[in-house]
Amino acid sequence: MRLFASLSPSEEAREHLVRALRPIRADLGTDLAWTDPEQWHLTLAFYGEQPDGAVDDLLAHLARTDARAMTLSLKGAGSFNRKNLWIGVGGETRELKRLMAECLLDPSESTRQRAHLTVARNRVRGRDWDPFLGDVVHALSVYEGPEFLADRIDLVRSTLGAGRSGGALHETVGSVSLGR
């Protein structure tokens, strides 16, 4: 099974972002595959394909983090290689970065981590989005949603192609509370 560790934004934070993206979604057309707001998350660590018995071991690994609950917000925007549109993170980002590093199985991977929430992907493989994407990223660079308390790490199974519109389906298989 394909697994990752994540934090989930609050319902209020998701709804705020849905409202902010509504006019942009209308303008960008059908070349974009918009992610399902119910599936939105901040990936802490991606574990890839794991055997069925790995869930308990990964939950034990996550329980050993000494991170505390933190106040975060969804803030700003960007794109990786003009292939997706993501929203960044504000608030207690030092604590978040430390938690992300602790969740990894291989600490050398921490240089590749960037906290973000993917809201859309390029639907047309091999083709960059038109120059409008730069305008969208620029417009969303000032976005800041409401604060939310991140107090739980979810271990999530991702099943590719099983979600709405052929995207991934994310199902929480276990959770670990963060200290106060």
Residue tagged active-site, from 16, 41, 61, 170: 41
Task: For residue 169, list its beta bridge partners.
Answer: 159
User: Is-catalytic flag, 41?
Assistant: yes
Question: Are 72 and 6 spatial neighbours (Cβ–Cβ below 8 Å)?
Answer: no
Task: For residue 5, list its beta bridge partners.
Answer: 45, 155
Question: Are 157 and 1 spatial neighbours (Cβ–Cβ below 8 Å)?
Answer: yes
> What is the full DSSP assignment across 115-142?
--EEEEEESSTT-PPPTHHHHHHHHHTT
User: Is-catalytic flag, 138?
Assistant: no
Question: Are 125 and 83 spatial neighbours (Cβ–Cβ below 8 Å)?
Answer: no
Strand 2-7 and strand 32-34: pairing? unpaired
Residues assigned a catalytic role: 41, 116
